[in-house]
């Protein structure tokens, strides 16, 4: 009997052999691992807002009511505020538990077994990680040595594989560079749906292309409250979609995907945008300061960034060694060891005090 039951437990073969996604580690785990007090840690590994959310969020959450009632499945008030913020009609906005969830919902909507998505690594890992879980095939078209797109190769891949989706990230994580608008227009002429992830657009000089959704029936734009608004822990993202997709998206999304705390916190943030965009300016100022200081160090070669983080090639010492030496001082950065990113680290913009400490430690290593 026991034997019979055992043979009936049959999980997917591809999941058995897949590699796990490596998320950021919690501060408590880091503190324990490093033997340091959690309050002394400087977390610069996940592009979070080091200043925290708006004080209005703290106040709203302290007074949170109706936790026994399911949240609004349509996030109506939040979508109204997002409509004001983006200038796009609320009917074309769908909210999710982070932009991460919207990536999954898009794959659920488009991908049938063995359909193809085109991905442009090095980029945000979630597109390539999620697609196979929804039975999509991933075609990687690598960026060049400056992390710019290989446009002719993308065009060829989309056409040859009849790709259902092309995922683009601008500013790109982890390289920090933007895709020129002319390039986006060229790629939007392809016979595929283009998902442009603007998770970091608030930090960029370039304007958002969200209004282009009015002109291109094949454009989806993803945004998040995690970075600029400091709500990474609450999980709120949103997408702006062509109107024709909306009724289908509503059919497939989980009804209560945006929880009550996340919903009201995002609303409070959108009612305090001038405060939060002031913090964005401070993060950009710190990023500029960091790039200049990194460029002076013999072992770091920073790439220009339009975001709230800086990718660096580490020269003359292993990037893992540098990561470990910073960790010893309680400074956590993101280390990469994969194609095109061997010996690279990414460091998020911190508060002025955090950057003071980071630069002081780095100077001792020079």
Ligand X SMILES: Cc1ncc(COP(=O)(O)O)c(C=O)c1O
* Residues that bind ligand X in the complex, under the rule CB under 6 A: 47, 98-100, 124, 169, 173, 197, 199, 224, 226, 232, 237
Min dist CB 99 to ligand X, Å, is 4
Question: Closest approach of Cβ 10 to ligand X, in Å?
Answer: 31
Does residue 249 contact residue 234 with C-beta atoms inside 8 Å? no
Least Å from the CB of residue 273 to ligand X: 17
Return d(Cα 102, Cα 81) in angstroms, integer: 19
Closest residue to ligand X, based on beta-carbon distance: 98
Choice between 179 and 199, CB closer to ligand X: 199
Provide the minimum distance between the beta carbon of 130 and ligand X in the complex, in angstroms, as a whole number. 11
Residue 145 CB, nearest approach to ligand X (Å)? 21
Strands 137-140 and 300-302: unpaired
Q: Rank residues 165 and 199 by Cβ distance to ligand X and give the closer one.
A: 199
- How many other C-beta atoms lie within 10 A of the C-beta of residue 60? 19
CB of 11 to ligand X, least distance (A): 26
Give the number of other Cβ atoms within 10 Å of residue 358's Cβ: 22
By beta-carbon proximity to ligand X, the closer residue of 94 and 362 is 94
- Comparison of 173 and 269: residue with beta carbon closer to ligand X: 173
CB closer to ligand X out of 116 and 226: 226
Residue 157 or 168: which CB sits closer to ligand X?
168
Distance CA 245, CA 226 (A): 25
- HSE-CB for 36 with a 13 A CA cutoff: 17
């Amino acid at each position: 009997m026991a034997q019979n039951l055992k043979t009936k437990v049959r999980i997917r073969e591809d999941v058995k052999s897949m590699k796990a996604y490596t998320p950021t580690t919690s501060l408590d785990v880091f503190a324990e691992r490093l033997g340091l007090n959690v309050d002394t840690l400087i977390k610069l590994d996940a592009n979070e807002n080091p200043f925290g959310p708006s004080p209005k969020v703290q106040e709203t959450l302290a007074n949170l009511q109706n936790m026994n009632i399911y949240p609004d499945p349509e996030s109506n008030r939040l979508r109204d505020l997002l409509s004001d913020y983006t200038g796009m009609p609320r009917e074309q906005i769908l909210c999710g538990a982070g932009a991460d969830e919207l990536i999954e919902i898009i794959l659920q909507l488009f991908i049938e077994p063995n359909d193809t998505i085109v991905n442009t690594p090095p980029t945000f890992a979630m597109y390539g990680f999620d697609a196979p879980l929804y039975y999509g095939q991933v075609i990687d078209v690598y960026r060049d040595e400056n992390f710019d797109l290989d446009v002719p190769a993308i065009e060829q891949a989309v056409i040859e594989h009849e790709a259902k989706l092309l995922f683009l990230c601008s500013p790109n994580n982890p390289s920090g560079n933007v895709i020129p608008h002319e390039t986006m227009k060229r790629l939007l002429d392809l016979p595929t749906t283009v998902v442009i992830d603007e998770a970091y657009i608030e930090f960029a000089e370039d304007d958002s292309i969200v209004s282009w959704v009015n002109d291109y029936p094949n454009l989806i734009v993803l945004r998040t409250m995690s970075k600029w608004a400091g709500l990474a822990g609450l999980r709120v993202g949103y997408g702006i979609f062509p109107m024709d997709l909306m009724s289908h998206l509503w059919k497939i999304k989980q009804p209560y995907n945006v929880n009550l705390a996340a919903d009201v916190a995002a609303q409070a943030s959108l009612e305090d945008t001038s405060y939060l965009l002031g913090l964005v300016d401070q993060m950009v100022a710190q990023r500029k300061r960091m790039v200049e200081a990194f460029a002076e160090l013999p072992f770091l070669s920073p790439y220009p960034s339009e975001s709230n983080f800086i990718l660096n090639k580490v020269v003359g010492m292993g990037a893992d060694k540098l990561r470990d030496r910073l960790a010893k001082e309680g400074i956590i950065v993101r280390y990469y060891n994969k194609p095109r990113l061997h010996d690279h680290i990414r460091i998020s913009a911190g508060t002025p005090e955090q950057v003071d400490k980071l630069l002081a430690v780095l100077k001792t290593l020079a």
